[in-house]
Chain A
């Protein structure tokens, strides 16, 4: 806990300065990338809670991102809801669908749970491709800009600010969660569901909370992705996307909110950097190998490495102080 605070003290002021400066320093293309990054942070934060904190391996997070994206597109287009109501509807729809899926899904755990989330993801894909009238089928949908009254919902700056606020809000939630009662229950379940049950943790309710939290995060992230890109199609929300989300959070560090940020950088910024330098083809190999290397050498992800680094320096300082006083 103290380590986390240290890390936070280091990164938060730095982060805020960068956040404020970005719209000024970046060109439109990179601003678009950073906005996309914020959207992925929100989705990955959800996975951090469900997988990192509560220990439930879900392959369906990308499908929930898709649910958010398509709901946002449909709601803005047909109902012309303004942003606050849009957020409400997206959150509600995500939570509701998660609650329904939870009925079969939370009866099982481990691999079987992963299987149910996979099955749900594939069913969602089939639904998207088959329901041309509602979802635009294979081709997908064009997404109208956010409706924010007098504020131009289309401007890249507006999108950036809204996404940044969302990312910070969800990060604070996820960072605080392990300290709460439900957060501690999640950790207990992660270590051993059986043990947690025996000490009186309401396993089903805790898992449901984590599952719904993950779904709502994914939904909001999807909503932002939809408005930022202007058009959505089924391929972005399928099995491979679900796998990449998992890879990203594991790489970043599944138990750390910072891990969600690092994972988002890995998903959005790193491939763009490779392309800018002209090494498109190498990125694929790189991303294949990097997961292996990180897992073998740093099981707690990159965030884990940073935490260790900070902790080592603190203990070095402490031992140095002792030397002096001795």
Chain B
């Protein structure tokens, strides 16, 4: 057990909040898709990876200014989200397919995006641009960088905006489309368009997250996997059809991971998360665990 100074404690907590904001953003994209399409998007992480990787390739080749490369990356991720909806998910829905196929389809998209990145962008890990990670300031011996602060603030703002959005007219339209598409249509809601827009926004969100994480670590075809798993854990424990609970759990999860890594060492950090998941699911009373909708094979 290492010595815990106050500064160390603050540092670890800040790191936890910083990671938590990234989990929350990633999860937000997954949640809004689940709301409108009742689909679990396994490809969320890789859509972000493609955005960052393509942006990296453009920057490395010095083809365009950095901001434009980033925008293009995000736009690409948004387009992938849109295409997934229009070409794949909608077709499944029309077919009235066995539910649970959305899982497999988005899994397929995830594998395909990984393969494309491996083939055309290479598998070697590459350093991304700092994006404010190198601008540091601090108090006492606690060091904070610009990236962490901006992302945390932006996340909170986005989450707040989304919460408000849900109460506005288009927001209600979105909730209606999710709960009862036919009824929503009779009220004049263009359900197809709502879904398409949601997937596009989710893709853009994924792209933003991919770039943020890329700037903090490095980019390769696989770097988003761990984050996706954590985001899903938060979502599944909190409930994919809810909003406040999973987002809060996302932050809590990040704090838990950082603190247990700090106290027990990094190797224990990974294990502690999964032990927690299993224990939680073993002892939580049944009523918290029943899902509103079963996902089937």
Tell me if chains A and B make direct contact, with any CB pair below 8 A. Answer: yes
A: residues with CB less than 8 A from B are 51-52, 55-57, 103-105, 107-112, 114-116, 118-120, 122-123, 126-127, 129-130, 190-193, 239, 243, 246-247, 250, 254, 281, 284-285, 287-289, 291-292, 295-296, 299
Docked-complex contact B281 and A193, CB < 8 angstroms: no
Q: A55-B296, A118-B229, A250-B104 are known contacts; what are 17 more A-B pairs with Cβ within 8 Å?
A: A55-B297, A57-B297, A104-B278, A111-B295, A112-B289, A114-B295, A116-B281, A119-B277, A243-B111, A288-B108, A288-B112, A292-B88, A292-B105, A292-B109, A295-B101, A296-B92, A299-B98
Q: B236–A115 contact, CB under 8 A?
A: yes
Q: Using Cβ atoms and an 8 Å threshold, which residues of chain B touch A130?
A: 267, 271
Q: Is B100 an interface residue (CB 8 A)?
A: yes
Separation of A133 and B297 alpha carbons in the complex (Å): 39
- A299 and B101 contacting across the interface, CB-CB below 8 Å: yes
Which B residues form the contact surface with A (CB < 8 A)? 40, 88, 91-92, 97-98, 100-101, 103-105, 107-109, 111-116, 118-119, 225, 229, 232-233, 236-237, 240, 267, 270-271, 273-275, 277-279, 281-282, 286, 289, 291, 293-297
Question: In the complex, which residue of chain B has the Cβ closest to the Cβ of A191?
Answer: B296
Rounded to whole angstroms, the CA-CA distance of A250 and B105 in the bound complex is: 11
Q: How far is the CB of B111 from chain A (nearest CB, A)?
A: 4
Which of A104, A109, A111, A119 is within 8 Å of B40, CB to CB?
A111
Nearest Cβ on chain B to A237's Cβ, whole angstroms: 15
- Measured CB to CB, the nearest residue on chain A to B97 is A299
Quick check: B291 and A111 within 8 Å, CB to CB?
yes
CB contact under 8 A between A110 and B233, given known A56-B297, A250-B104: no
- State in angstroms the CA–CA spacing of A104 and B282 once bound together: 4
Contact A116 B278 (CB under 8 A): yes
A119, B105: Cβ atoms under 8 Å? no
Q: What are 17 A-to-B residue pairs whose CB atoms are below 8 Å?
A: A51-B297, A52-B297, A104-B282, A107-B282, A107-B286, A111-B240, A112-B236, A112-B281, A115-B277, A116-B281, A119-B278, A122-B270, A192-B294, A243-B107, A247-B108, A287-B115, A288-B112
Check B296 against A190 for contact (C-beta < 8 Å): yes
CB neighbours of B296 from chain A (8 A): 55, 110, 190-191
Distance of A107 from chain B, by nearest CB (Å): 6
**Interface residues of B, dominant DSSP:** helix
Q: Are B114 and A288 in contact (CB under 8 A)?
A: yes
Residue of B nearest to A104 (CB): B282
Contact B274 A120 (CB under 8 A): yes
Interfacial chain B residues near A51, Cβ < 8 Å: 297
Known contacts A57-B103, A284-B115: A292-B281 contact under CB 8 Å = no
Residues in A whose Cβ lies below 8 Å from that of B271? 122-123, 126-127, 130
Partner of A291, one of B91, B111, B119, B297: B111
In the complex where A110-B295, A110-B296 touch, is A296 in contact with B91 (Cβ < 8 A)? yes
CB pair A285 B116 closer than 8 Å: yes
In the docked arrangement, what's the CA distance between A247 and B109, Å? Answer: 12
Q: How far is the CB of A215 from chain B (nearest CB, A)?
A: 16
Q: How far is the CA of A293 from the CA of B107 in the complex (A)?
A: 12
By a CB distance below 8 angstroms, the chain A residues around B274 are 119-120, 122-123, 126
Closest to A243 in B: B107
CB distance from B7 to the nearest CB of A (A): 30
A36 to B98, CA, bound (A): 32
- Nearest-CB distance from B93 to chain A (Å)? 12
With A57-B297, A285-B116 as known contacts, state yes or no: A291 contacts B108, CB within 8 Å. Answer: yes
Nearest A residue to B92 via CB reads A296
Known interface pairs A123-B271, A299-B101. Does A111 touch B236 (Cβ–Cβ under 8 Å)?
Answer: yes
Question: What residues on A are CB-neighbors of B103 within 8 Å?
Answer: 57
Flag if B233 contacts A115 (CB, 8 Å): yes
Cβ contact within 8 Å between A247 and B111: yes
In angstroms, Cα B119 to Cα A292, docked, is 18
Cα A126 to Cα B274 with chains together (Å): 10
A21 to B99, CA, bound (A): 42
Contact of B108 among A111, A119, A295 (CB under 8 A): A295
Given the known inter-chain contacts A52-B297, A57-B103, A281-B119, please indicate yes or no for A107 contacting B289, CB distance below 8 A: yes
User: With the chains together, A39 CA to B225 CA distance in Å?
Assistant: 28
CB-CB under 8 A from A299, the residues of chain B are: 97-98, 101
Residues of A contacting B225 in the complex (Cβ-Cβ under 8 angstroms): 239
Across the A-B interface, the 9 shortest Cβ-Cβ residue pairs? A104-B282, A288-B115, A288-B112, A110-B295, A292-B108, A119-B274, A291-B108, A55-B297, A119-B277
Contact partner, B115, options A111, A129, A190, A285, Cβ 8 Å: A285
